[in-house]
Amino acid sequence: MESRASPDLAQTYAAAIEWWREAGVDMDYAEEPAPWLPDPESETATPAPKVERKVAAPVIPAKPRIGGDPASWPASLEEFAAWWLAEPSLAPGGTRIAPGGSAKAELMVVVPMPEADDTGTLLAGPHGKLVANMLRAMQIAPDAAYLASALPAHLPHADWSGLQAEGMGAVLAHHIQLAAPRRLLVLGNDILPLLGLEKRRGVHQVPLSGTAMELLSSLAPDNLLANAKARASLWRRWLEWTENT
């Protein structure tokens, strides 16, 4: 019997490859590539810790308070008029109009804002004519009245809630204290929350620093012009308010 030598490893490997080739399989397929011979270092290396990157929230600068530092506010009514026209935070734009009159007036009248066509004088249009007629009926001379506005410029779509939150009420209260009138008439319900009061017509006790003052409130001039009943109501309230004082 003829003896045959056992094939060596190389021959065995070549025969296996040839067998698979004849069977039509000459490639290795997988969904993900994977090395057949693992890297020795990867078996022992410690995976790097996952670092979470935190994105800092954007810093939104606080909106400056209207009027700035109260410690720097004007100490007299004369200084206030110039500051009213120049302080940047008081109005975003528009033509500013100074208040008119002297301190310790018989009556201080506060309206929401200058009229649309005011240029050099506050209340130079129909609203001013209404106020002048009211003063005449009240027997108050024009030079015995102090006319002021809650806002320096005409702002038809004023954000009164925002103005209150940003400190416009403190500026108005300071203005009233400097004017120190005998009586105070506020024409415009939107003005009242600036002073910490409810939006209602009638007599209010307005809290001021170190003192208190009564005021009479009614509708804004444009609403009074359009509403005869509101004008009559204001007149009755005025008579009741001033009857004993």
Phi-psi region of 18 (alpha: psi -120 to 50; beta: other; left: phi over 0): alpha
Quote the pLDDT of residue 63.
Answer: 66
Q: Which residues form the domain of 156?
A: 73-242
Cβ count near 158 (within 10 Å): 16
pLDDT band at residue 28 under the 50/70/90 scheme: low
46 lies in a domain? no
201 touches 218 (CB < 8 A): yes
Share of the chain above pLDDT 70, in %: 78
Find where tokens 């530092």 sit. 69
> Does a structural domain hold residue 61?
no
38-to-26, 32, 183, 214 alpha-carbon distances in Å: 22, 15, 95, 91
How much is the pLDDT for 174? 96
The confidence score (pLDDT) of residue 163 equals 95
Q: Is 45 contained in some domain?
A: no
Judge whether residue 36 has pLDDT over 70: no
Q: What's the token pair of residue 226?
A: 């359009």
Q: What is the mean pLDDT of residues 10-21?
A: 72
Answer yes or no: is 65 within a domain: no
Number of domains, the chain: 1
Q: What is the Cα–Cα distance from 115 to 44, expressed in whole angstroms?
A: 83
If one compares 100 and 33, the residue with the highest pLDDT of the two is 100
Task: List the CATH number of the domain containing 107.
Answer: 3.40.470.10
Give a yes or no: residue 230 inside a domain.
yes
> Of 190, 202, 193, whose CA–CA distance to 170 is shortest?
193
What are the distances in angstroms from CA 91 to CA 31, 77, 87, 211? 68, 19, 8, 28
Each residue of 210-237: pLDDT tens digit? 777 899 999 999 999 999 999 999 999 9
Mean pLDDT of 85-92: 93
For residue 201, is it within any domain? yes
Report the percentage of the chain scoring pLDDT > 90: 66
Provide the pLDDT confidence category of residue 9 given band limits of 50, 70 and 90: confident
